[in-house]
Amino acid sequence: MSDVTLAVAPRPEPNVTTTTTTTSDAKLEQKPQQRHHQPPQAAMGGVMGSLRVIELQLVAFIMVFSASGLVPLLDLIFPAFVSAYLIALSRLAFPAHGTTTIGSQEIFQGSWLFRLYVVVGTTVGLFLPLAYVLGGFARGDEHAVRSATPHLFLLAFQILTENVISGLSLFSSPVRALVPLLYTVRRIFVISDWIQDVWINKALPANAQFKDIAWFWFGRGLAAANLVYFSTNVFCFLIPQFLPKAFERYFRERDEIQAKTFEDKRSTAANKSQPTDKKDD
Residue-wise pLDDT for 32-81, tens only, equals 444 444 443 433 344 444 446 666 777 788 888 888 889 999 999 999 99
Q: Is the confidence at residue 206, as pLDDT, over 70?
A: yes
**Which pLDDT value is given to residue 2?**
56
Residue 269 within any structural domain of the chain:
no
Q: Are 171 and 181 in contact (CB under 8 A)?
A: no
**What DSSP element (H or E) covers 79?**
helix 73-88
Q: How far apart are CA 182 and CA 234, in angstroms?
A: 10
Q: Is residue 34 part of a domain?
A: no
Mean pLDDT of the chain: 79
Closest CA to 121 of 229, 234, 195: 229
Residue 71 lies inside a defined structural domain of this protein: yes
Number of domains in the chain: 1
143 assigned to some structural domain: yes
Q: Is 87 inside any structural domain?
A: yes
Does the residue 160 lie in any domain?
Answer: yes
Find out whether 122 and 276 touch, Cβ atoms under 8 Å.
no
Q: What is the pLDDT of residue 9?
A: 39
- Determine the angle formed by the axes of helices 173-199 and 73-88, rounding to 10 degrees: 170
Residue 168 lies in a domain: yes
Structural domain harbouring 125: 51-93+112-252
| Distance from C-alpha of 260 to C-alpha of 263, rounded to nearest angstrom | 5
Q: Give the separation between CA 233 and CA 243, rounded to whole angstroms.
A: 12
User: Is residue 272 included in any domain, yes or no?
Assistant: no
C-alpha span between 156 and 161 (Å, rounded): 9
Residue 280 pLDDT more than 80?
no
For residue 203, name the pLDDT band (cuts at 50, 70, 90): confident
Q: How confident is the model at residue 182 (pLDDT cuts 50, 70, 90)?
A: very high
Say which range, 149-158, 183-192, 225-234, 270-279, has the weakest mean pLDDT.
Answer: 270-279
2-6, 21-25, 169-173: range with lowest mean pLDDT? 21-25
66: burial class by Cβ within 10 Å (0-12, 13-18, 19+)?
middle
